Amino acid sequence: MPGRSWTPSIVPGGDDQTVYLVTDDLGRNGAVWREADAETTDLETVITDLMSGEYKDPVRVVAFNTSERWSEDVSEDVAREIQHRCNLQLSDVPSHLQEFVDRYAAQDTRQFSLRLV
């Protein structure tokens, strides 16, 4: 039986997992940490969900790993990866992500169009 100071873990699926959470701006209702299934807090799922429009207006992406005792704002890395994937697909960043990518991605990762002559 757990002692008085025991607190249940909020980390899904084990104690050595990096979890990614998105802050989403819901307009008049404020900014929230969006609810996510424990199995869908990995980086790939979060990027896929962002690109598919699961988030209304993403503000920030934060990663943490309690086993390794760290947390970090990874918004810039995620924004660059979204821009990179759009570049590879020769497509524009989805409109619902444009502000997020503009805010966090460095200028040198943007896609430039060359005029065909």
User: Over its length of 117 residues, how does the chain's per-residue pLDDT go in tens digits?
Assistant: 455 665 555 555 556 789 999 999 999 999 999 888 888 899 999 999 999 999 989 999 999 998 899 999 999 999 999 999 999 999 999 999 999 999 998 655 455 555 565
Number of domain units in the chain: 1
Q: Which domain holds residue 71?
A: 19-107
Name the token pair of 5: 């100071």
Domain annotation covers residue 28: yes
In a domain, 27, yes or no: yes
Instruction: Give the CA angle between residues 88, 92, 94 to the nearest 5°.
Output: 115
Cα(51)–Cα(85) distance, integer angstroms: 10
Report the distance separating Cα 106 and Cα 33, nearest Å: 25
